[in-house]
Amino acid sequence: MNTETFIGDIQTTACEEVSEILRKAEKEAACIISDAEQTGKMKGEKHRELAEKKIESEKVKALFSIRSEVKAGLTREKYNAFESCFDSATRELQSIRSHDNYQDFFTTMLKEALLELDEPDPVIHIDPKDDAVCKTSLRELKASYTIVADSDSAGGVRVRSADGKIIVRNTIESRLERGREMLKEDIFRELFG
């Protein structure tokens, strides 16, 4: 074999080996690239899913917060409306003495208080402005009890037992407060649904 043929065979073998190495390298590179793309897609999808879950969670929190704020605001407004109704009623009832039927109303309140107390010799406490009205009511009831003009009210009476252990309040203010408590549940049901 001559030297030229030998060198030619070596070059051919070397070229074939280089080609084989390059082909294998390209194949491995393609696999690595494919794996990297697949891994990247999976990581990208995981990140997207996590981001979507986080966004959904934040959205739910924000909606809950907004609903809570709106509900609290509505509750405040409805409560203010409820209070406004009773404030208005209180202002109107301050002038009840000037109504034509106040004498009858006072007599009814006095009878109710006396019946509820159901004690001998009660003491009747009134606002000084109701002194004449109270005396007229007692004459109508054909009763004679001790009257003490020491109350400050828009009208009505406070009746106590002779020993002071039992007190019955039947004033405009106490009736309004009782009515307020009785109506509060109904009004709130109406206001809040």
C-alpha angle 62-63-66 in degrees, rounded to nearest 5: 85
Which pLDDT band, with edges at 50, 70 and 90, does 192 fall under? Answer: low
Query: Average pLDDT, stretch 25-40?
Result: 78
Q: In what order do the strands lie in the sheet with 167-171?
A: 146-148, 123-126, 156-160, 167-171
Rounded Cα gap, residues 158 and 134, in angstroms: 12
Instruction: Note the pLDDT tens digit of each residue in 131-140.
Output: 999 999 999 9
Q: Are the CB atoms for 183 and 82 separated by under 8 Å?
A: no
Instruction: Note the pLDDT tens digit of each residue in 109-155.
Output: 999 999 999 898 999 999 999 999 999 999 998 888 999 999 999 99
Which pLDDT band, with edges at 50, 70 and 90, does 1 fall under? Answer: low
Instruction: Note the pLDDT tens digit of each residue in 153-174.
Output: 999 999 999 999 999 999 999 9
pTM over 0.75: no
Which of 171, 175, 173, 179 has the alpha carbon at shortest distance from 110?
171
- What radius of gyration, in Å, describes the C-alpha atoms of the chain? 47
